Structure formats: structure tokens, C-alpha cells
Structure 1
């Protein structure tokens, strides 16, 4: 038995406020201080302008609600963001067009003689061009993001972490931490769980069973098809697809190098990873635009050559 078999598992505390803004004064951020300062200056300017015309108590009656609204706007939060930014995003969403279509330029308005039933002047609003961050996929499988650089996708397998000993878990965590510390550019790890349909696999086994060379093999095929049907009926089977997106704003060659380093580093975590080519990259992007599409075993999945026994 290894002398490290009794090693306690590694524990790491991850703070929940890693993106919290720095507090400058009175427990407030620069953003909050600017809102409160501007509100105070505006109220002071208003009091200076009407001090000789309005009694102080009347000015306070009107100023207190304004100051309270500014304070609530500065310190309030909704959906993890400050309330003023949340309201600004709500206004932008309300004013933005809600019908987007693929187009290379502005949408040509319909002729005046085309009758519609909604919108200003009894006309429907025009759709707007759909602007996606990706401009295309190169022959090397890189996603062209224009001024934001290029991105390379790497598909990765999962690891049966809970079945390892404490020493093995610590080794995996240390290897993964070394990869994270080596990153010098934006990197995203995307884990998507999709349902797996085993119906057509069971049907194929039943269809091929009569052609097997021995009756015992035919019986085993039918039994396995019945097992798959029972498994699908009793459990909700999921396939976890892990994709690592490595982006660089330097050169496409640097993006390729970063993706190769990610594959090499993940291999130290016992993760089978490989870079995606143009076809697989296009399939991943198409799946991201339609995440509700059903995933069956007959559908090609990037990285399907990996051992999926640990992914179900």
C-alpha cells in the first residue's frame, strides 16, 4: 500500500465574490460614489437656484425622494448586477429590435402598398440584421472573431473523480490547477448536458439479432436490447459534452499554440482532449445556437472517439 494512501483530500476555498468591485470609501465602489456625488451636486445646485424662492422644508420634501431613489439606485442589485446597470440594460432591450434576420446590410423596407396589421402607422417594425460575434471558421478550424481575435475549440472527456483515492484526486486537482495558472488569455470551459436516446440503438440490436451466427448471440443481443429499453424507461440518461474555448487577440498561430498547450496540460489530468477541425467546430456552434435539439447516439458528436463509459 502506498504511504500516500491516507493523504487527506485537497480542499480549496473559492470565494463567491471574485468579481466584486473594490470598495473605495464608506464601503462604496467608485461607481456608487459617482452616482451619489452627482445626485448631491445636482440637489445642491437646485437649492442654490431656488433658496430665495422656496422654503427649506418644502425643498426637503422634494429632495428626500430624489436622494432616496439615487441611494437605492446606487446600492441596489438585481440579478447579480447593480440596479442602475440593470435598468439601463432593460431600456436597451426594450428599444432594441426583437426580430433579427441574417443579412449582409441594412434591411430594405417593404413598399408602401404592402399592408400590415401592427406597429406605428399600422405597419410592422422592420427586422434588424443579426450580428454574431463569429465571422467565420478558417480552414484550420479557428473561429474568426474579427477585432476580438480568434478562438480554437478543444473537446475533452470527463474523469471519474469520485472513484479515485484521495492521493489520486489531489494529483488531478494539482494538474488542473497548473493548467489554470498557465493561462495567459481568455479561456472558457463549457459543460453541456444533453439527453441520450437509446431507442434506435435497441431497435438496431433487435433487427441485427437474427443474422448473428449463433442462437446464444441472438439471445444475448435481444437481452441487451431489453436492458437498454429498461434503462431508458427507468433513468434519464445524459451525455456531458465538455468544450474548452481558447481565445487569443494576438495571432492565429498563438491561438493554435494555446490550444495545443491546453490539450497537453489536460492530458496530465487524465482528460482525453483534442482540437476540433472546421467540421466539428461548425457542429459545436450549430448546437450552441439550438441547444434544445435532441441528441441521439446516431448523431455525430465531436470527440465521440473518447470512452463514454464515464460520461453517462
Structure 2
């Protein structure tokens, strides 16, 4: 037994508000202060304009709803984001087109002789072109994000953390913490659970069974194929796919260096990892956009060009 087996497991506290804006005054951020200050100035301007015509109590009663709305907009939160950002996103979504089509060129309006209304005052909106953040994938596996830089993808495995001794767990946590502290740009860890289909594996065993050199091996192959079919029928098997995405705006070489450093740092945590090349990154990105689609077959890029 390791001499560190009696160590207490390491605990690292991760704050849930690491992206919280700086508090400038009265425990409020600059955005909240701007909302309240603009509302106060507007109400003060309205009072100076109608002070000689409206009783103060009447004006106070009329000013309470906008003041309360501004306060709620400034300090309220919904789904983890500030209420003003949520309202702006809702308005943007309301005004954005509902139907998007993949097109390299702008959508041409329909001719005048084409009926585009379902009834009086019911104008059918035209589809808009679909604009994805990713502009393309290079032959080295870097995702081109345009003005947002490039992103490298790293495929990682998992670690049986609960089966380790406390000393080993502390070493894994320390190694993972070193990687997190070494980051100087955005990084994201995506874990996807995918269903495992054992039918293909069982069919391969059945197809190869007649060619085995001994009847006992053929019988074992049939038994193993039956076991796989029975296992697939009784349980829902899942496979976890872990992808680490690192992004940088300093150029493709800097992004590739970040991806390589992530592989090296994760290896210190006993996590097997590798940088995805162009075809593998294409398959991984397509699977993340449509998890229910069948797996794609990687294809080789043409002379390091982009795959779109």
C-alpha cells in the first residue's frame, strides 16, 4: 500500500461566480449603475418638466412602475444571466428569422408574381441564410472562427477517480489544477453520452466464426455474439465522449501549441488524450451539432485545404 494512502482527499473549491462583473459601488456593477442612473435622470427630467402641473404624490405614483421595472432589470437574473441581457436576447430572438437555410449567397426575395401571403395582413417571412460560427476546418484540425480566432480540439479519455487511493486522488487533482492554472485563454470541456450499438460487433463475430481454425473457437464466437445481443437487449449502454476545446486569437500556431500543451498536461493526470486532425475534427464537430445522426466517415483533406 502506498505511504500516501492515509492522506485525506484533496478538495478544491471552485467559485460559481467567476464570471461576475466587478462591483463598483453599493455592491453593484457598472452595468447596473448605468441602468439605475439613466432611469433616475429620465425621471428627474420628467419631474422638472411637469412639476408645476402635477401633484408630487401623483407623479410619485406614476414614477413607481418604471422605477421598479428599472430596478428589476438591473438586479434581476434569469437562467443564470442578468435580466437586461435576457430581455435583449429575447427581443433579438423575436426579431430574428425562424427559418434558416444553408446558403453562401444572400437569399433572393421572391418575384412579385409569387404569392407570399396566406391571407390579408399575413406576410410569410422569407428564409434567411444560416451563418455558423465556424468558417472552416484546416487540415491540421483547427476550427476557423473568423474574428474570434481558431479553436483546437483534443479527444480525452476518463479516469476511474473513485477507485484511487486518497494520495492518488490528490495527485490527479493537483495535475488537473496545474493545467487549469496554465491556461491563458478560453477552454471548454464537453462530455457527451452516446448510445453504444453492439449489433455491428455481434454480426462481425458471427461472420468470422465459420473461418476459425477450431470448432471450439467457433462455438465461443457464437456464444459471445449471443452474449452481446442479450446485453444490448437488457441494458442501455452508453459511451462517454470527452472533448477539450481550446481557443486563441493569436494565430493558428498559438492554438496548436495550446492543444499540444493540453495533451501534455492531461497526460500528467493519467488521462490519455490526443489532438484531433482535420478529418477527426470534422466528424467530432458534426456529431456535436447533431448527436442523433449516424457516425460520419472521415475523409482526407486535399493538400491541407479547408473542409467546409
Q: Considering the TM-score relative to the shorter chain, is it more than 0.5?
A: yes
Do residues 190 (structure 1) and 190 (structure 2) align?
yes
Equivalent-residue separation in structure 1 for 2:262 and 2:119 (angstroms): 51
Equivalent-residue separation in structure 2 for 1:140 and 1:117 (angstroms): 48
Matches within 5 A, 1:1-312: 1-118=1-118, 123-294=123-294
3-state secondary structure, aligned to 1:207: helix
Equivalent-residue separation in structure 2 for 1:152 and 1:119 (angstroms): 50
Equivalent-residue separation in structure 2 for 1:233 and 1:245 (angstroms): 35
Contact 2:153–2:259 at 8 Å: present in 1 too? yes
Task: Tell me: CA distance 1:167–1:36, structure 2 relative to 1, closer, same or farther (3 Å).
Answer: same
Equivalent-residue separation in structure 2 for 1:81 and 1:13 (angstroms): 22
Larger mean Cα displacement after TM superposition, 240-249 or 218-227:
218-227
Contact 2:139–2:279 at 8 Å: present in 1 too? no
Task: Tell me: CA distance 1:120–1:91, structure 2 relative to 1, closer, same or farther (3 Å).
Answer: farther
Gaps of 5+ in 2: 299-308
Gaps of 5+ in 1: 302-312
Contact 1:24–1:30 at 8 Å: present in 2 too? yes
Contact 2:97–2:127 at 8 Å: present in 1 too? yes
Q: CA RMSD in A?
A: 2.0
Q: Alpha-carbon deviation of 1:121?
A: 5.5
TM-score, normalisation: structure 2? 0.90
Q: Alpha-carbon deviation of 1:208?
A: 2.9
3-state secondary structure, aligned to 1:265: helix
Larger mean Cα displacement after TM superposition, 84-93 or 125-134:
125-134
